[in-house]
């Protein structure tokens, strides 16, 4: 048995980001209470916290479910993500604190190590945290919640990126590592324009990878036809 409210919170976030829990999947309050050894009250508190952060939706008399991901949310995501990431990046250059910069460097090393060892779960979480820290650096109470919501779907849509299946995808992953290094160097140099340029390069890389996930290559026409013996 797992234990504790904190572990429940961390596990649900991880499972949502990595698509272990599907969009719109119901969360069983009773089962989670038993599994983590806590009463239903802490479970509900975790649900409310995750709702505030954009991970779950709580419906009256129907309980909590994983936040949806449909045509409408994907359309909104692709429309506004570059603008929000660029604004966040520009403000991060202006407002970052030394401790945040140090955390960004440490998180990048985790991302680099996970990339080298092909640890998809650690890559997903480190990448998400890397961009969260840039959001925290911005110090903007209006943009940070929007960034947080974007990062949830960014992780969910692009999770296959961290499980490269061919050499091209591995090269793309290495490019993502290099982009992160570029963000750190540009923020350290307080170069807003360089950060914004990298935002759009990084976004284009992410967009192409997410499109691969959303629209995978079709199966061969005869792939599901059994050849007669």
Q: Which of 137-141, 156-160, 220-224 has the lowest mean pLDDT?
A: 220-224
Segment 108-135 mean pLDDT: 94
Buried/exposed 48-75: b ≥16 CB within 10 Å, e otherwise: eebeeebbbbeeeeebbbbbebeeeeee
Q: pLDDT grade, residue 167 (50/70/90)?
A: confident
Specify the pLDDT at position 61. Answer: 81
Q: Which residues of 86-123 are buried (b: 16+ CB within 10 A; e: fewer)?
A: bbbbbbbbeebeeebbebbeebbebbbebbeeebbebb
Which residues lie closer than 8 Å to 18 by C-beta, 6 or more apart? Answer: 121, 124, 155, 159
How do the domains of the chain map onto residue ranges?
5-66, 71-214
Average pLDDT, the chain: 89
pLDDT of 100 reads 98
Q: Does 60 or 136 have the greater pLDDT score?
A: 136
Pick the CATH number of 5-66 from 1.10.357.10, 3.40.30.10, 1.10.10.10, 3.30.160.160: 1.10.10.10
For residues 223 and 190, which has the higher predicted lDDT (pLDDT)? 190
CA distance 8 to 35: 9
Q: Does the structure show a pLDDT above 80 at 213?
A: no
Same fold, 5-66 and 71-214: no
What is residue 62's predicted lDDT score, i.e. its pLDDT? Answer: 85
Q: Hey, what CATH class is 71-214 in? A: mainly alpha
| Range 154-163 average pLDDT | 79
Give residue 218's pLDDT: 59
**In this predicted model, what pLDDT tens digit does every residue of 139-152 receive, in sequence order?**
999 999 999 999 99
Given a contact cutoff of 8 angstroms between Cβ atoms, the answer to whether 129 and 107 are in contact is yes
pLDDT of residue 162: 77
Separation between Cα atoms, residue 44 and residue 52, nearest integer Å:
12
């Amino acid at each position: 048995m797992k234990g504790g409210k904190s572990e429940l919170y961390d596990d649900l976030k991880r499972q949502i980001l990595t698509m272990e829990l599907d969009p719109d999947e119901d969360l069983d309050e009773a089962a989670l209470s038993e599994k983590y050894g806590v009463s239903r009250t802490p479970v509900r508190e975790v649900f409310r916290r995750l709702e505030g952060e954009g991970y779950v939706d709580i419906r009256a008399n129907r309980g909590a479910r994983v936040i949806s991901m449909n045509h409408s949310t994907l359309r909104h995501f692709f429309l506004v993500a570059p603008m929000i990431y660029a604004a966040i990046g520009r403000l991060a250059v202006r407002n970052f604190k030394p401790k945040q910069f140090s955390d960004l460097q440490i998180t990048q090393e985790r991302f680099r190590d996970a990339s080298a060892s092909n640890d998809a779960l650690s890559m997903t979480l480190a990448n998400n945290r890397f961009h969260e820290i840039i959001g925290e650096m911005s110090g903007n109470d209006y943009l940070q919640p929007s960034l947080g919501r974007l990062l949830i779907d960014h992780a969910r849509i692009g999770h296959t990126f961290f499980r490269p299946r061919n050499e091209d995808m591995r090269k793309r992953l290495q490019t993502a590592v290099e982009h992160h290094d570029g963000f750190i160097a540009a923020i350290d140099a307080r170069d807003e324009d360089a950060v914004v340029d990298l935002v759009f390069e990084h976004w284009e890389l992410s967009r192409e990878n997410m499109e691969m996930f959303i629209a995978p290559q079709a199966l061969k026409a005869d792939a599901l036809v059994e050849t007669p013996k």
